[in-house]
Amino acid sequence: MNLRIGIVGLPNVGKSTLFNALLKRQQALVANYPFATIEPNVGIVEVPDERLESLAKISNSGKIVPATVEFVDIAGLVAGAATGAGLGNKFLTHIREVDVILQVLRDFEDSEIVKEGSVNPESDYKVIETELVLKDLETVGKCLESKDTKAKGKEKKKAIVEKLFVGLNNGIPARELLITEEDKELARDLFLLTAKKEIKVLNVAESDPRLHELMGDMLYISAKVESELSSLDEADAKAYMAELGIKESGLDMLIKRAYETLGLISFLTTGEMESRAWTTTRGAKAPHAAGVIHTDFEKKFIKAKICDYDKFVEAAGWKMAADKGWVRFEGKEYEMKDGDVVEFMIGS
């Protein structure tokens, strides 16, 4: 499954700098003026997973294939975007296409960078959230007036739309209004922006004592530091992080946070051809996970041969793991765990 993270925020808060650092190449245009980004820049980033190297050594794999995350650098929003201010309508449409919203908020001073519309993290967040709420309110209002919503047999749909209309009018995002799975399903075809889960990133100075901390729902990252790290080789990057007193890059932290936010896990496959990480949802049954590899595998699933990653590495492969009794054969009701090393048994 492909995970898409949309990077949003006011102009000149560090979105494109962070995006470039995450991709470790200058793919987005970084410019000191509003709306430097018009079309969304898109890049695929590998999910760091040290387990794959160990598996590849054990299996003598020809290649390593990590899971990937797609980052979308969406142009800066401004107050009034919901009614078309700036290039608002176009940008808001791009947000509909992502799985999770990464809100970048500025909390550093730099006299050389135009602070277009940005005041402080709290007010900046309210500006963005307000524009998303207003756009959703427009969507819900149209739905409320549609013949389909008013049709006989659509009472539950109408009730949830009315609930959304009242809540959004009071500034409450859809994610706080859609409580049950039934509510979420009834509202799914509205594609509401504020129904999406979000990650908040505070872009701080490299000297900020909160650097690379997760406090509450806020992740503290310096886009400048990430940019500098992206230009270094692995050894120098590790030395620089040690100097800063941080143990992992912002990329690692962001992806872990995204996985946690969306309830995702990675399961692993290994062999002579490749060692690979696959992404699925926490609690997914084995047939569904098999379907991530190939859609036919879900339909033709028989059973799964599974070993915990740590046990697999300790045993140095399937044979010794089986001899030690660490290999299990699981059926259709088995819930996949993060780090499961698996071979799926598929029928013809």
Residue 222 has pLDDT above 60, yes or no: yes
Tell which wins on pLDDT, 89 or 23.
Answer: 23
Strands (E) located in the chain: 3-8, 41-46, 64-65, 68-73, 100-107, 197-204, 214-215, 218-221, 264-270, 275-281, 301-308, 328-330, 340-346
Q: Is the pLDDT of residue 129 over 60?
A: yes
Residue by residue, DSSP assigns 259-319 as HHHHTEEEEEEE-SS-EEEEEEETT-BHHHHHHHH-HHHHHTEEEEEEEEHHHHHHHTSHH
Q: What strands, in cross-sheet order, belong to the sheet with 264-270?
A: 64-65, 275-281, 264-270, 340-346, 301-308, 328-330
| CA–CA separation, 129 and 172 (whole Å) | 9
Mean pLDDT, all residues of the chain: 88
Mean pLDDT of 200-204: 94
Say whether pLDDT at 36 is over 50: no
Residues 6+ apart with CB under 8 A from 140: 161, 164, 165, 168, 190, 192
| Residues 6 or more apart in contact with residue 181 via CB below 8 angstroms | none
Per-residue pLDDT tens over the stretch 170-187: 999 999 999 999 999 999
Strand partners, 270: 275
In the chain, % of residues over pLDDT 70: 87
Give the chain's count of helices (H) and strands (E): 14, 13
- Residue 346 clears pLDDT 80, i.e. is over it: yes
Confidence label for 96 from pLDDT (cuts 50, 70 and 90): confident
Q: Say what the pLDDT of residue 279 is.
A: 96
What is the average pLDDT across 191-200?
94
Indicate yes or no: pTM above 0.75. yes
For residue 44, pLDDT beyond 90: no
**pLDDT surpasses 90 at 75:** no
pLDDT at 3 over 60: yes
Which residue is associated with the tokens 């872009």?
A: 203
Asked if the model's pLDDT at residue 216 lies above 90, the reply is no
- Kindly report which listed range (15-24, 83-92, 243-252) carries the lowest average pLDDT score: 83-92
Q: pLDDT of 281-327, one tens digit each?
A: 999 999 999 999 999 999 999 999 999 999 999 999 999 999 999 99
The residue among 142 and 91 whose pLDDT is bigger is 142
Strand partners, 304: 330, 344
Contact by Cβ (8 Å): 138, 89: no
pLDDT of the residue at 46:
85
